[in-house]
Structure 1
Amino acid sequence: MLTGTRFSYDDVSGSGGELRDMVREVTSTIGSINIGDFLPYIDWMDLQGIKKRMKKAHNFFDRIVERIIDVHVEQRKRALDENREWAKDIVDVLLGVAESQTLEMEIRRENIKAIIFDLFIGGMETMATTMEWAMTALIRHPLVAKKLQEEIDSIVGKDRMVTESDLPNMDYL
């Protein structure tokens, strides 16, 4: 919804699960206890490699957001050249504000990237919280969990994960 594009984890990069892996890396790193937080005088050493891992994740997400903005700039230019309307999303709105600079504050590409990244992370956090509540509910209601597991086993099997294409067939879920 944020970028006006629908994609799955596998669509983002040629390596298939790279986005999924990076999201896992960020969530595990955020939840890690960093010795440098407790002993600031040794924080610069990054003994656990947390800063290094976060820089790698930042660079990865920066490339994705750059790609999203580039695609929107190109689509926007094409639509304006052809004098036609197009379905606008938040990225288009931000690019339009940056172009017009009618606000007192100047909006640069870095600002747009930061806003997109904040919204993306906010969406991830919301999803993580929703999943926690769902898992808690399943733990508290074992009969419901059993019925759901039976549905998953009958439709997906035990050898692979549920994919988006499975969802239309999963009435109970």
Structure 2
Amino acid sequence: MHTVIVYESMYGNTREIAEAIAEGVHQADPAADVDCLPVAEAGPDVTRTADLLVVGGPTHMRGMSSGLSRHLAVSAENRKEGHEDAAAEARETAEGPGLRSWFHNLPETESGTHAAAFDTRGATAGSGSAAKGIAQRLSHHRYDVVAEPEGFIVDGVDGPLHAGELDRARAWGAALV
């Protein structure tokens, strides 16, 4: 089985969750071929070969990130002392394609190609969900969404991940197989 995990990450939290999901897939199926890629590296040639496509991103303004929300995140991170690495990752993400534009180039697939969606978000009920929009777009491209969209909690605005979320991501990844 070939699993492709595509993620957008501003502060590293979504990347960490994506990597934990990849570990979970490997735990459930040690022979699985797993690619875990930032959105900028996940072209149609890679996604076309997936038996399972897992897509995730941060929740910004109650939904999927936008060009505006990514640039606002960079501005906020640049103002923090001691956050140079996070600011660099945020800048790199903001300058590349976000998930919204990536979906424009995602080819439709044949029925039977499985997919799942996840996000990172704040702990409050009003945080919203990027994963719901991701799942809708996957369905629109004819992927069979095999799990409810999953959210992983970030403490504060830019992290760190809430205690236990990496273990939960590994378990979720294993359950997808």
Q: TM-score, normalised by structure 2?
A: 0.28
> Which structure carries more strand by proportion?
2
Structure having the higher helix fraction is 1
- Using CA pairs under 8 Å that are at least 6 residues apart, name the structure with larger relative contact order, 1 or 2: 2
Relative to the length of structure 1, the TM-score reads: 0.29
Whose Rg is larger? 1
